[in-house]
Copies of this chain bind each other. A is one copy, B any other.
Amino acid sequence: MNESDWIRQYIAPLVTAPGASGLRDDVALLSIDGPTVATMDTLVEGVHFLRADPVDTVGQKLIRVNVSDILAKGARPSEALLSIAWPKNRSESEFSALLSGVARDLRELGVSLIGGDLVRTDGPLTVTLSLTGTCIGDGPVRRAGGAPEHALWISGEIGWGALGLEAAQSGVDPDIADRYHVPRIARMDAADIVARLASASVDVSDGLLIDASRLAAASECGVVIDLEAVPLAAPSPDLASILAQCTAGDDYQILMSAPPETRIDGFSKIGFLTESGGLQLRHRGQPVNAPSILGFEHKA
């Protein structure tokens, strides 16, 4: 592995922004067009993806988990810095595949790659993306900002991450496994909806229940969730199955609150914020005990 050659051959062709100087410099000039937010996520082999996962999907997942953070804040993804710690025992063709996955989602999600770093490692493949986003409104929509009686809305379906992981591990259903490898994130125009309508918003990456609790806590509210209203990957009348899906992570949907009279097309209403009372779950009107573990606790 010659890092300079690999950068020239596989990474530089993906870089078109003039401020990046074709990666032939030490820094990139950001193109700033309004209030700008930034996020950073790292994926580690064996923790966030499996050794056997198609490596192009690792590139896609990295872009998507970062884009999801930006969309949830009512911002459009803009420019990315990519760091790759590449294991000495992986091949050049795998490296090429990783970058082809990166390229696919840069294109599909409108992200511009402007720089980064490539280093060797004796350990697991470790990739980090830092991504900027341009706020559609005056600033990012925060987790704080919700108020009592504001309704809680979710994009897409919950549970595909966990269902997909199971399929990836068992090798039975590649179409479902693909949902784990390449998480479905909210549509690009969800950022406009968030910017226009949300009082508070969060990226549901660690599990619906834990992220709903975080939004409520940041907004100094309690929250009620009607479990039968949550759109699930595997719809079920069984409470244990519902709760499992609502506490599994890796779904990368948007959870937002909005004033009670607001209608939000393409999102599902699953509950509302309250004056107090922490997290309260209901199923068909009956109170349900919250599970002791509400989701993953691994994110900055």
Contacts and interface: CB of A to CB of B under 8 A. Distances in A.
Given A3-B298, A298-B4, A42 B119 contact: yes
A27 B121 contact: no
Contact of A3 (B25, B48, B299): B299
A13 to B, nearest CB: 14
A114 to B, nearest CB: 7
B297 A4 contact: yes
A32 B29 contact: no
B120 A27 contact: no
Contacts of A133: 27
A35 B43 CA distance: 30
Interface stretch (A136-144, A151-159, A280-288): A136-144
Given A39-B28, A124-B122, A218-B24, A81 B117 contact: no
A92 B158 CA distance: 34
Count of this chain's copies in the oligomeric assembly = 2
Interface in A33-59: 35-44, 46-48
Nearest to A131: B27
Contacts of A81: 38-40, 130
| A-side interface size class | 35 or more
Closest 3 pairs between A and B when the two form their complex, measured CB to CB: A123-B123, A130-B130, A27-B37
Interface in A269-300: 297-300
A47 to B, nearest CB: 6
A7 to B, nearest CB: 5
B26 A39 contact: yes
Interface in A188-215: 202-203
Interface stretch (A65-73, A103-111, A231-239, A242-250): A65-73
